[in-house]
Amino acid sequence: MKKTDKYAAIHYHDYLQLDAILSSQIPRSGLYENAAHEETLFIIIHQVYELWFKQILHEVGSVMNMFDKDHVDEKNIGIAVARIERVNEIMKLLIQQIQVLETMTPLDFLEFRNFLFPASGFQSFQFRKLEILLGLKIQQRFSYQSRPYYHEFDAKQQEEIQSMEQAKSLFDQIVQWLERTPFLQFDHFHFDVAYREAILKMIEAEKQAIIDSDYLDDDAKQARLVMIGVNGEYFGTVLDPIKHQERLDAGEIRISYKSMMAAILIHLYRDAPILQLPYRLLESITTMDELFTTWRYRHAQMVMRMLGKKTGTGGSSGFDYLMETVKRHQIFKDFQHVSTLLIPRSYLPVLPEKLQQELGFYYSFKS
């Protein structure tokens, strides 16, 4: 197109390339006999999925570009939040879309299912790219076959996937961003030390409240004291940098000690102006992970409804395989587990006044 044609008039039909889009639904059952009525719905549903996957990749890729630096421009955090929240709205649509597919009965599906072999949603290249970009690497992936999952694709696609497996994911970038949080250590104040002290104070207060209770008998008191002791041991294990590193090395968790403490700080002091957008970012990312898990679960339930215990068209165990991915393919679950480590506001460490000023707006502290 010439520069003079940059803003030339264009028709709606041509702008959206509707000839290409609307001619791309070709039911395979119709190539040999009368096409099964429901196959058109099946094709369109999955084509729409792929279009939305393309948009999600576009949004996630733009956020990753913002975080692919040693210093993230804080002005971009709000943009990142908006784009992740857009992904979340798209995911809600994808979950709802399953209801449309479920207007097709199992018997309707059997009319054309044999024409699908060995095609499978497992072969969606865009979805595999999306999983990797978010942080689901091959070590965490549940597989139903002996060979790597990327063998489903052609040589060029395999090369791209293996390259992506070696690159940073959004998960990696968020962890590294959290590790650079400047407020964990401020002059002589160390947040992790102050937080451990606050937890000990809280636990001791809870123990004393049980001991002083006049409505619990001795057995009930002992049982509750044991529970508090277990909770205290858990806090002690998770908040110990050495033990945390041991769990990290063993693959039990993926989030570093420093990034976990930063996430805790952001959650606890989220009302501070400087931490409001970081808190929204963490919330939007964990919401995204939750929505992906919900989508996987609804997909698995839909497969059970349509196929029962039949084997998937791609050779997987069908429902059983999909349910395993629901449990194992949660990418940001370490961020969700931060909630386990939060304590009531009444026990929060009091931050030094100078740090409070750093976390606030300038005019909030101006006399």
Count of alpha carbons within 13 angstroms of residue 367, beta-carbon side: 0
Is pTM beyond 0.85 here? yes
Of the candidate ranges 207-211, 234-238, 363-367, the one whose mean pLDDT is the lowest: 363-367
Task: Give the per-residue pLDDT at 269.
Answer: 95
pLDDT at 363 over 70: no
Torsion 54-56-58-64 (CA) sign: negative
Q: How many other C-beta atoms can be found within 10 angstroms of the C-beta atom of residue 305?
A: 15
Q: Are 341 and 235 in contact, with CB atoms under 8 Å apart?
A: yes
Task: Give the per-residue pLDDT at 139.
Answer: 86
Of the candidate ranges 115-124, 242-251, 316-325, the one whose mean pLDDT is the lowest: 316-325
Nearest-angstrom CA–CA distance, 332 and 329? 9
pLDDT at 2 over 80: no
Topology at the third CATH level for domain 18-192+235-364:
Methane Monooxygenase Hydroxylase; Chain G, domain 1 (1.20.58)
pLDDT digits (tens, 9 = 90+) for 97-143: 999 999 999 999 999 998 988 888 889 999 999 999 999 998 888 87
> Confidence class of residue 34 from pLDDT cuts 50, 70 and 90?
confident
* For the chain, percent of residues with pLDDT exceeding 90: 68
Task: Give the per-residue pLDDT at 147.
Answer: 79
Task: Look at residue 185 and give its three-state secondary structure.
Answer: strand
* For the chain, percent of residues with pLDDT exceeding 70: 95
Of the candidate ranges 145-154, 164-173, 296-305, the one whose mean pLDDT is the lowest: 145-154
Take residue 14 and report the two structure tokens written for it. Answer: 């041509």
pLDDT digits (tens, 9 = 90+) for 255-280: 999 999 999 999 999 999 999 999 99
Take residue 322 and report the two structure tokens written for it. Answer: 């999909």
Residues in the chain: 367
Of the candidate ranges 9-23, 274-288, 316-330, the one whose mean pLDDT is the lowest: 316-330
